[in-house]
Amino acid sequence: MTDLESICKEVDQLIDILGGYWSKEWLIEPVIEELGEFSKELQIDAGLHPGKSTTKEKLAEEFGDLLFAVIALGRGLDIDVEKSILNTISKYRLRK
Ligand SMILES: [Mg+2]
């Protein structure tokens, strides 16, 4: 099992290799793009695009792309990704 901080650091390293984080106002763009790709696969999986098919592996691949983009967004905005998700989990716990 890999902890979230290690994953975040790996995302940082890959982004550095790819030329570094984009300026803050553009960091949301990959999230929107990947959300669109994931959404399309979900629609295909639901039969909304006749003649097209997807697989669980393709869905998982697009989900991973989306997670990568979301983590990169947080890191690029200097947000503590781990603290953010833990805070949200706490909020959901309080709702029950
Ligand atoms: Mg993708």
Say how many Å lie between the CA of residue 44 and the centre of ligand 1: 14
Q: Is residue 7 part of a domain?
A: no
Q: Is residue 6 part of a domain?
A: no
The range of the structural domain enclosing residue 84 comes to: 28-95
Q: Residue 59 corresponds to which tokens in the numbers above?
A: 């869905």
Q: Which residues, 6+ apart, have CB-to-CB distance to 30 below 8 Å?
A: 69, 72, 73
Say how many Å lie between the CA of residue 79 and the centre of ligand 1: 23
Q: Is residue 34 part of a domain?
A: yes
Contact 24, 76 (CB under 8 A): yes
Give the number of other CB atoms < 10 A from CB of residue 17: 8
Q: Is residue 75 part of a domain?
A: yes
Per-residue confidence (pLDDT) for residue 2, from 0 to 100: 76
pTM for the full predicted model: 0.91
Q: Is residue 18 part of a domain?
A: no
Q: Is residue 5 part of a domain?
A: no
Q: How many domains does the chain have?
A: 1
Is residue 71 predicted with pLDDT exceeding 80? yes
Q: Stretch 20-36: mean pLDDT, rounded?
A: 95
Four-point Cα dihedral 90, 78, 2, 63, nearest 10 = 80
pLDDT band at 1 (very low <50, low <70, confident <90, very high): low
CATH of the domain at 90: 1.10.287.1080
